[in-house]
Amino acid sequence: MKKINDKLLSWASLLEENTEQQARTTARMPFVFPHLALMPDAHLGLGATVGSVIPTLGAVMPAAVGVDIGCGMIAVRTQFSAADLPTDLQPLREQIERAVPLSAGASNRKVVATAAPRIAELETMAEAAGFDPAGAHGGWRGQLGTLGSGNHFIEVSLDEEDRVWLFLHSGSRGVGNKIAQRHIAVAKRLMQRWWIELADPDLAYLVEGTPEFERYIAELRWAQHFALLNREEMMDRVVRQLSEVLGTAVDEQERINCHHNFTQRETHWGKSVWVSRKGAIQAAAGQPGLIPGSMGTASYVVEGLGNKPSLESSPHGAGRLYSRSAARRTFTHDELRAAMVGIEYRDTDAFLDEIPAAYKPIDQVMADATDLVRVRHTLRQVVNVKGD
């Protein structure tokens, strides 16, 4: 850990200058207490740095959570081993791709049986919170159980004992994005109304006790729960596909579901603060968590160490080194194929911006996180599913 200044601590051995400057700017916000913690995977984000943990007193910055509210990971350890898997994994990949709608804007054609009670739960929660999610995204019900694109993925992986794990990464889809964008815009308008000038307009904030703050928190909590249930719904479908391919019901040995873009109340240094983790997971002592690598690299099942200076947090993944456009200019389809040797995936240059070389080395990220988490399992992919 490096103390950059009294308001900024960093666990990132690989830290670009513009990323550090962005974090310095955020850490100077007067309500940040006691300090901002940069995770090993930190990289430049919109407003707040991706891979940052931001505790605040009496205010929340919507951009410090970002537009994919509640984005996170879910993993299931099955009773199967590598020997139980078929030699040809393409049919399993294709069945998963048929069961889970992929790509940006994807939606289910109908509400399936497992999704119906989850949608009902979300409808009840929204009614209690006093808002209609359809006002943000009219098709939100159809997107429960859909993956999205970018770095979202579904994987079948093996651990160090060759046990089969199911692993996926997704968030609150279109409805979470619309909710976030709306409240970021509200915060910016309030800054203008109050004549508050910020070093970065995307650090616009909402003040606790105001109607705007209360409305954001209510809708944020709903979107976080949507994201959690979205992952549960997708995982249930992936479990079914594996069961069908192997002809045996999956016996779930363990299921872990965690956010890495979220805000919640916590107590640190004797004060009740809002902790916004943008690209970071909570890592309280003994708390299970998931840290994925990039496409084609290892992922990790971890246990939190309760590190106090980090506000009991850890990284959420590898962290980008190249922007998507820069990655597409820099790397080739042949290089992507070479990185994915031995992994069943849809071979297309649509995933070129997700090539492992566009990300920080996950081994270095995990080395930087040794005082934040303990690694319980190291996973290697055998099937990778992504949306264009």
| Entry field: residues in the chain | 388
Q: Rounded distance, CA 388 to CA 381, Å?
A: 19
| Strand 280-282 relative to strand 261-268, pairing | unpaired
Q: How far is CA 267 from CA 34, 57, 81, 221, 351, in A?
A: 11, 11, 41, 18, 41
Catalytic residue from among 43, 183, 259, 316: 316
Phi first, then psi: what are they for 345, rounded to 5°?
Answer: -150, 165
Phi first, then psi: what are they for 365, rounded to 5°?
Answer: -60, -45
Task: At 80, list the tokens.
Answer: 């199967």
Question: Are 268 and 79 spatial neighbours (Cβ–Cβ below 8 Å)?
Answer: no
Among 167, 95, 94, 86, which residue's Cα sits nearest to residue 380? Answer: 167
Q: What is the DSSP string of 123-167?
A: HHHHHHHT--GGGT-TTHHHHTT---STT-EEEEEE-TT-EEEEE
Q: How many CA atoms lie within 13 A of 8 on its CB side?
A: 19
Among 293, 385, 382, 386, which residue's Cα sits nearest to residue 84? Answer: 382
H or E stretch at 385: strand 373-386
- What type of residue sits at position 122? L
Q: 87 Cβ partners below 8 Å, 6+ apart?
A: none
Q: Clarify whether 43 is annotated catalytic.
A: no
H or E stretch at 386: strand 373-386
Give the residue numbers annotated as catalytic, written as ranges.
316
